[in-house]
Amino acid sequence: MMKKVYLFLISCLGLMLMPDMQLYAQEESAQKPAYITVTTLHWNMDKEDFDMDKWKAMEKEYFDKVTAKNEHIIGSGVYLHRFTPDNRELISVTVYPSWEAIDKSGARDGELVKEGWPDEQARKAFFDDRNSYYSDFHSDEIYAPMDNVKPLTSPGEKILLVRRSQLKFPQDGSYDEFNKAHTDYVNNVFKKNDLVKGYYPVMHAWGADRREMVEAFYVDSMDDLDKMFEKNNELFMAKWNTDELREEMQAMATKYFTGVHGDYIYTMVPELRK
């Protein structure tokens, strides 16, 4: 059991809240992700004529006419509940190159909507139908992306594991300390694990809990999710191959993290990924 504790704790190390250091790195290129918005939506459970195929076709039409053409959005995705506390939820993720792009993208969406549905009556009918699939309630969070990404490059539907953890803020902590540990871990575990098709660590920027950090793992299937953990553990034990090295890593992780975390599993909608 102890080696699995090591695996979980050290996988989080790169995500201590150090916003000035991280955001400066993101500003070097306008095309690099600077902010990620996550909107949690909920299905309208009272909709009697709910049709998943129709919903997907409508969202694909909106994606093709609006999201895909919006130059202020550099990435996006939609993910459906698989194993989460609320079966009604789905999440929409949007990636922006700057804070200004968030505001500009909203205005651009409005322009593209009118271009895509020039007839006002037809436009209203489409969006009334589209909106009928969702409840009125939604919530938003904004995150800042971290370094040490393993980009998702393989095509097709994916399983997304989202791990949310709580940070500590030690007085004697340093950016160099935790960033080195995270870089070492990602390079020697996630990037060497072929089952991890994509890995994206992010940290809280604006939202309900400043302690929150999030890691997103993409795999091909639920079977691969179990195998991913096993392979991660093998790679970790091979790299940190003595009790002394593992104890050093455990001490580092305990310094920066409370040990509290939650796991959420979603299914990607590949047709809606930019």
Q: Are residues 11 and 89 in the same domain?
A: no
Weakest-pLDDT range from 17-26, 163-172, 255-264 = 17-26
Per the domain annotation, does 24 fall within a domain? no
**Could you tell me the residue range of the domain that residue 93 belongs to?**
35-140
Q: Which of 140, 155, 170 is the last residue of a domain?
A: 140
Whichever domain contains 178, its CATH number is 3.30.70.100
CA separation for the pair 240, 224 (Å, rounded) = 24
Q: How many domains does the chain have?
A: 2
Per the domain annotation, does 30 fall within a domain? no
What mean pLDDT is predicted for residues 32-44?
95
Q: Are residues 129 and 200 in the same domain?
A: no
The string of pLDDT tens digits covering residues 229-268 is 999 999 999 999 999 999 988 888 889 889 999 999 999 9
**pTM for this structure?**
0.84
Per the domain annotation, does 247 fall within a domain? yes
Q: Are residues 151 and 53 in the same domain?
A: no
Among 75-89, 156-170, 209-223, the range with the most confident prediction by mean pLDDT is: 75-89
Per the domain annotation, does 29 fall within a domain? no
Q: Are residues 99 and 181 in the same domain?
A: no
Half-sphere exposure of 77 (CA within 13 A, CB side): 18
Q: Which of 89, 110, 140 is the last residue of a domain?
A: 140
Q: Are residues 152 and 135 in the same domain?
A: no
Q: Are residues 168 and 208 in the same domain?
A: yes
The string of pLDDT tens digits covering residues 46-92 is 999 999 999 999 999 999 999 999 999 999 999 999 999 999 999 99
